[in-house]
């Protein structure tokens, strides 16, 4: 180990996933090893072993007064041998990965509502704590990756579901306070992804939809409510009618096992929400409207090309090939590009003979057998041309379907995919991807995000510090995509944004690929001990999700528009439903106004910290937005603040006490003569209600996050 360490201090990690099930045995044996190694010092050995911690280890390195190598990229993709790239877990258990996002979405919403309504009872504190703890468990390295056993995955799902149900009471009680409507149900519907909601199942007449916007700024988004096919009117809190229409639910969703088919349509309307808004739905006593559902025999044909049909609005034009049903070209943001979208299958090895080369893909490892099988056959399709939403419903095969969708005034294309049950009757596991192919000359380069923040440059078949053995060239070029990925040339950029963590790559210039779902029949022998063969109702698991496409000219300041979109997709409106004849009114004095935040400043956290303290976290989320300043005094007053002080990012320590080791990296020419430390580069904010408003100014650098505690 010492050959890999620059210092004479060596960190020897101890333990493993299951090492401490009998901790006494583990430590007893470690004691023997330490005693044996240290006794050899009597024979001239210079090695001294002792129990330590990462903090103590870094302290000793800091004392050495030397420079260190600097790593700029991450450590992906990891491989344990030439045929074992650990890139399958980027996608494993896709429904659980989405459920984790839903849990976080609900947690952030409930934390904000609890703060605004000042819910401090023991019952409310306990319910919120349980959801926080459940989301903490979901960050475990086998939960967020999907590399746990099936029984454990089911336990995680049950735990998170119960926590969400418990926290629904907090949301309901908070909304009753914030709207002065003490009898409204404010139910959340957890099956909206299959167009089911109990309150609208028989009738959506006299339904109030309460929308909570977790973002700081007023947001305009389209809302979809499961309904029966009737004539509806949607009005806002002031009685003004909102344009709406009903859209048919895809046939593949109606055919889902155990789904009630009472609601075969969705009511779609555009809502603008500051923090909390109510919208009233009622059925008009008029003849039922005929929705404009066009079958593939009556599609208007472009005069210059009889094999094309288009889907377009004021911002976007999509061109499809009529004979195949595939997307052919995209026009948006003043840019046009031939973009072909398809689904494809990587097949696994038939059986598992135990050799290193022929081991199967598993929960951890992605190891395809041979070339990809692109599904290029003719797609059955139908078209819906509405006023505000336009859709192409595509039936790829018996277990893959998709809706390609554009909304008026929304500058992105939505691909809502449905995959499963993945067939395994041929004895072969399969991994399903979607591909977007274009003429963009990306020169072997693509970009993926790091935790939804910075974008990292990826070069096909290359690594930062070494030449990799690309025996597994496909899986060896897969990277985690938690929020977005893109390719570009000198003129155009194609960006994909996803709704959950997935694996992605660009195996050819002009191409982007995301893995959506995987079902495997063999274990990969890396610790799970069972095949990743998820089932539901006795059949293979069905997964549904969304991918969003943006075509744009290469911007001077990259990532600005994409990051703004990512925030909206990650924290959309949270919907609550009530059956009532009266529309609740918002108690305005309880609603702080966040709209005076600079455009690139986001409300990252607003949550109860203790009975009389609030944790507030602000982010300047644009790397290109420049320095942003904001006076926090009006927000401080609206939160009934008495005192405010700045803390470290995690909220555990006053920022003025922060003192971090400073290490100098090679190439700077600096050889430190004494130990040095990092302190906060700005004066931490500390103020109280007696001070002048000018003392409450907050400045954020690009990508900076600042955290505060407000005593109220």
Domains assigned to the chain:
2-64 (no CATH), 94-289+573-589 (2.60.40.1180), 343-377+403-570 (2.70.98.30), 597-711 (2.60.40.1360)
The DSSP code sequence of 658-693 is --EE--EETTS----SS--EE--SSPPPEEETTS-G
Average pLDDT over residues 157-182: 96
Residue 357 has pLDDT above 80, yes or no: no
List Cα–Cα distances, 629 to 47, 282, 388, 533, 698, in angstroms: 54, 44, 37, 51, 6
* Structure tokens belonging to residue 246: 């009903």
Q: Rounded to whole angstroms, how far apart are CA atoms 9 and 46?
A: 11
Instruction: Please write the tens of the pLDDT for every residue from 619-661.
Output: 998 777 688 899 999 999 999 999 999 999 999 999 999 999 9
Q: Is pLDDT at 260 greater than 70 in this prediction?
A: yes
Instruction: Give 294's strand partners.
Output: 383
Confidence at residue 558, expressed as pLDDT on a 0 to 100 scale: 57
Q: Which two tokens stand for residue 431?
A: 């991994």
CB atoms within 10 A of CB 423: 14
pLDDT computed for residue 291 by the predictor:
47
Structure tokens at 668: 């700077």
Q: Is the pLDDT of residue 426 over 70?
A: yes
Mean pLDDT of 188-215: 94
* Band (356; pLDDT cuts 50, 70, 90): very low
Q: How large a percentage of the chain has pLDDT more than 70?
A: 95
Q: Would you state the torsion angle of the CA atoms of residues 592, 595, 598, 601, taken in this order, to the nearest 10 degrees?
A: 60
Bridge partners (DSSP) listed for residue 547: 415, 498
Contact between residue 634 and residue 593 where contact means Cβ atoms under 8 Å apart: yes
Spatial separation of the C-alpha atoms in residues 616 and 651, rounded to whole Å: 9
Q: DSSP assignment, residue 478?
A: -
Burial of 477 (0-12, 13-18, 19+ CB in 10 A): buried
Closest to 199 measured CA to CA, from 211, 186, 212: 186
DSSP conformation class of 327: E
- pLDDT tens per residue across span 326-338: 999 999 999 999 9
pLDDT at 297: 36
Per-residue pLDDT tens for 583-595?
Answer: 888 888 889 989 8
102 three-state secondary structure? helix
On the question of pLDDT at 303 being above 50, the answer is: no
Distance between CA 569 and CA 101 in Å, rounded?
Answer: 11
pLDDT tier for residue 354 given thresholds of 50, 70 and 90: very low
- Say yes or no to pLDDT of 304 above 80: no
- In the DSSP assignment, the letter for residue 187 is B
Residues 6+ apart with CB under 8 A from 584: 175, 179, 180, 181, 184, 208, 210, 278, 578
- Lowest model confidence (mean pLDDT) among 497-501, 561-565, 597-601: 561-565
Taking alpha carbons only, the member of 552, 563, 556 closest to residue 702 is 563
H helices then E strands: how many in the chain? 8, 43
pLDDT band at 351, cuts 50/70/90?
A: low
Integer CA distances (angstroms), 617 to 133, 196, 378, 603, in order? 20, 35, 50, 6
The residue written with tokens 């199967």 in the block is 360
pLDDT tens per residue across span 370-423: 889 999 889 999 999 999 999 999 999 999 999 999 999 999 999 999 999 999
pLDDT over 80 at 293, yes or no? no
pLDDT in tens, 91-116: 999 999 999 999 999 999 999 999 99
Q: Comparing C-alpha atoms, which of 425, 410, 470 is closest to residue 444?
A: 470
As a whole number, mean pLDDT of residues 8-21 equals: 88
Burial (CB count <10 Å: 0-12, 13-18, 19+), residue 636: buried
pLDDT at 557: 64
User: What is the phi-psi region of residue 448: left when phi exceeds 0, alpha when psi lies from -120 to 50, beta otherwise?
Assistant: beta
CA distances from 291 to 254, 282, 288, 299, 391 (A): 17, 18, 9, 15, 12
Mean pLDDT computed over 19-36: 92
Q: Are 498 and 484 in contact (CB under 8 A)?
A: yes
Q: What pTM value is reported for the model?
A: 0.93
User: Partners of 271 in the beta sheet?
Assistant: 221
- Residues contacting 182, CB < 8 A, separation 6+: 176
pLDDT score of 16: 82
Mean pLDDT of the chain: 92
Angle at 384 between CA 378 and CA 388, to 5 degrees: 135
């Amino acid at each position: 180990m010492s050959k890999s360490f620059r210092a004479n201090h060596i960190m020897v990690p101890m333990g493993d996933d299951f090492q401490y099930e009998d901790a006494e045995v583990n430590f007893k044996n470690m004691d023997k090893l330490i005693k044996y190694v240290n006794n050899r010092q009597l024979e001239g050995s210079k090695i001294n072993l002792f129990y330590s911690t990462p903090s103590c280890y870094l302290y000793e390195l800091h004392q050495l007064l030397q420079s260190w190598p600097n790593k700029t990229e991450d450590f992906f993709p990891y491989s344990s041998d030439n045929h074992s790239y650990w890139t399958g877990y980027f996608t494993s258990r896709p429904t659980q990965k989405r459920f984790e996002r839903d849990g976080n979405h609900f947690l952030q919403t409930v934390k904000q509502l609890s703060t605004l309504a000042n819910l401090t009872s023991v019952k409310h504190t306990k319910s919120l704590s349980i959801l926080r703890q459940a989301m903490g468990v979901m960050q475990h390295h086998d939960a967020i990756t999907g590399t746990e056993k099936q029984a454990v995955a089911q336990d995680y799902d049950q735990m998170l579901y119960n926590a969400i149900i418990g926290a629904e009471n907090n949301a309901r009680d908070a909304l009753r306070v914030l709207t002065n409507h003490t009898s409204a149900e404010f139910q959340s519907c957890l099956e909206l992804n299959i167009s089911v909601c109990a309150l609208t199942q028989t009738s959506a007449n006299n339904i109030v939809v309460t929308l909570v916007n977790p973002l700081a700024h007023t947001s305009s988004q389209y809302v979809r409510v499961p309904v029966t096919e009737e004539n509806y009117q949607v009005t806002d809190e002031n009685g003004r009618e909102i344009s709406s229409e009903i859209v048919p639910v895809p046939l593949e969703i109606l055919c889902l096992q155990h789904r009630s088919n009472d609601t075969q349509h969705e009511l779609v309307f555009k809502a603008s929400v500051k923090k909390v808004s109510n919208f009233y739905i009622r059925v008009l006593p008029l003849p039922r409207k005929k929705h404009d559902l066009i079958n593939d025999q009556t599609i208007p044909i472009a005069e210059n090309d009889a094999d094309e049909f288009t889907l377009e609005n004021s911002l976007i034009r999509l061109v499809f090939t009529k004979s195949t049903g595939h997307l052919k070209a995209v026009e948006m943001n003043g840019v046009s590009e031939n973009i072909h979208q398809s689904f494809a299958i990587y097949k696994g090895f038939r059986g598992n003979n135990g050799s290193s080369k022929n081991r199967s893909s598993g929960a951890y490892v992605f190891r395809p057998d041979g070339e990809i099988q692109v599904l290029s056959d003719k797609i059955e399709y139908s078209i819906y041309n509405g006023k505000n939403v336009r859709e192409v419903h595509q039936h790829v095969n018996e277990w893959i379907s998709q809706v390609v969708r554009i909304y008026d005034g929304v500058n992105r294309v939505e691909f809502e995919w449905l995959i499963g049950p993945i067939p395994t009757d041929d004895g072969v596991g399969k991994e399903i991807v979607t591909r977007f192919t274009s003429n963009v000359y990306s020169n072997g380069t693509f970009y993926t995000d790091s935790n939804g923040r910075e974008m990292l440059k990826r070069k096909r078949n290359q690594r930062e510090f070494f030449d990799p053995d690309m025996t597994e060239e496909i899986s060896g070029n897969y990277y985690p995509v938690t929020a977005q990925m893109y390719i570009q040339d000198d003129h155009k950029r194609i960006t994909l944004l996803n709704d959950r963590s997935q694996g992605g790559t660009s195996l050819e210039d002009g191409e982007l690929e995301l893995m959506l779902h995987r079902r495997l029949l063999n274990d990969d022998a890396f610790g799970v001990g069972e095949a990743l063969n998820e089932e539901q109702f006795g059949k293979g698991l069905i997964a549904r999700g969304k991918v969003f496409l943006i075509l744009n000219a290469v911007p001077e300041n990259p990532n600005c528009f994409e990051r703004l979109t990512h925030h909206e997709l990650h924290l959309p409106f949270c919907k609550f439903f009530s059956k009532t004849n009266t529309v609740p009114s918002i108690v305005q004095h309880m609603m702080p106004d966040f709209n005076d935040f600079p455009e690139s400043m986001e409300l990252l956290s607003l949550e109860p910290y203790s009975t009389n303290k609030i944790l507030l976290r602000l982010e300047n989320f644009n790397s290109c937005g420049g320095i942003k300043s904001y006076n926090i005094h009006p927000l401080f007053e609206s939160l009934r603040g008495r005192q405010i002080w700045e803390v470290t990012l995690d909220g555990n320590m006053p920022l003025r006490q922060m003192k971090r080791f400073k290490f100098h990296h090679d190439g700077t020419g600096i050889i430190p003569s004494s130990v040095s430390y990092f302190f906060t580069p700005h004066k931490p904010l500390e103020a109280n209600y007696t001070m002048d408003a000018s003392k409450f100014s907050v400045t954020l650098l690009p990508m900076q996050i600042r955290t505060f505690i407000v005593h109220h």
